Homo-oligomer: A and B are copies of this chain.
Amino acid sequence: MKEAQYKRVYNALNAQIAKKEFLEGDLLPSENLLTTQFGVARSVVRQALLELEKEGKIVKQQGKGSIVVPERKSLALLSVKGFSQVVGAERKINTIMLQNPIKRKWDGVFFFPLSEKELAADCFYLKRLRLVDNQTVMLENTYLPDLYLEDFLTQKFVDGSLFQLLKSQYNIEIKGVEQELRAINAEVDLATNLAIEPNQAVLHVQRKYITNKKDFFIYSSLFCNTHNYSFSNIIKT
């Protein structure tokens, strides 16, 4: 099971952009050139560029080329990447574990419908507070069904990243996310955690992550303080 070629091309280009080897406004090498550089078919190059475009790192323009776009200033949080990856290297991030992972029953009324298989299993629950440059930006409640996760409670998080742990220990990859957004007024408890005044507006995001394991989903309920950082995303047709 070796890595796909287009991922190899994607990773190479992504790294070059991150290392500022291409600056904002620069054109990437043309598709034909990349084809010869990496020794792959053009469709493979295009698949790699498509990924970069979906993530908003380049824009393509017919007749011109693939243009590197400026790094985003706001948090690209409405994406499938884990928190550790969406916050640029420029910023200091911290995670405070308010509730270490425990095994428990599902809540009576869950925010997404659960399958029978999921309901039959217990769930792992963790509660984390996320900080960017020492400012509290997010409270995250995560629920994972106890289906493929042997010895989950004894695992050490890889760089504090749940997604990296799932990838390295269980070969579980995130393939997509379905999410619902609401603006809510913060209750006292929530306001305390987010270090804001009660009744302040908070962005509530309920997520269902799709993984490479069929029938295995991860659920998250996020409460975001958008006063200091806005949350952005990019969508292509």
User: Is the beta-carbon distance between A233 and B203 smaller than 8 angstroms?
Assistant: no
Tell whether A23 is near chain B: CB-to-CB under 8 Å: no
User: Is the beta-carbon distance between A226 and B182 smaller than 8 angstroms?
Assistant: yes
Complex formed: what's the CA distance from A210 to B236 in Å?
9
Tell whether A58 is near chain B: CB-to-CB under 8 Å: no
Within 8 A of B (CB), among A188-218: 199-204, 206, 210, 214
User: Is the beta-carbon distance between A183 and B180 smaller than 8 angstroms?
Assistant: no
User: Is the beta-carbon distance between B80 and A235 smaller than 8 angstroms?
Assistant: yes
Complex formed: what's the CA distance from A235 to B179 in Å?
9
Expressed in whole angstroms, the minimum distance between the Cβ of A33 and any Cβ of chain B is: 22
User: Is the beta-carbon distance between A235 and B78 smaller than 8 angstroms?
Assistant: yes
Tell whether A16 is near chain B: CB-to-CB under 8 Å: no
Complex formed: what's the CA distance from A26 to B49 in Å?
32
Contact with B along A174-186 (1 / 0, CB 8 A): 1111111111110
* With A61-B214, A78-B78, A80-B235 as contacts: A202 and B178 at CB distance below 8 Å: no
Partner of A78, one of B175, B181, B214: B181
Contacts of A13 in B (CB 8 A): none
Partner of A201, one of B59, B202, B230: B202
User: Is the beta-carbon distance between B78 and A237 smaller than 8 angstroms?
Assistant: no
Expressed in whole angstroms, the minimum distance between the Cβ of A214 and any Cβ of chain B is: 7
Interface residues in chain A, defined as those with a beta carbon under 8 Å from any beta carbon in chain B: 43, 51, 56, 59, 61, 74, 78-80, 174-185, 199-204, 206, 210, 214, 224, 226-227, 230-237
Could you pull out 29 A-B pairs where Cβ atoms are within 8 angstroms? A43-B43, A56-B178, A59-B210, A61-B214, A78-B78, A80-B237, A175-B237, A176-B235, A176-B236, A176-B237, A177-B234, A178-B233, A178-B234, A180-B230, A180-B231, A181-B181, A181-B226, A181-B230, A182-B226, A182-B231, A183-B184, A183-B202, A183-B203, A183-B226, A184-B226, A199-B199, A201-B202, A203-B203, A233-B235
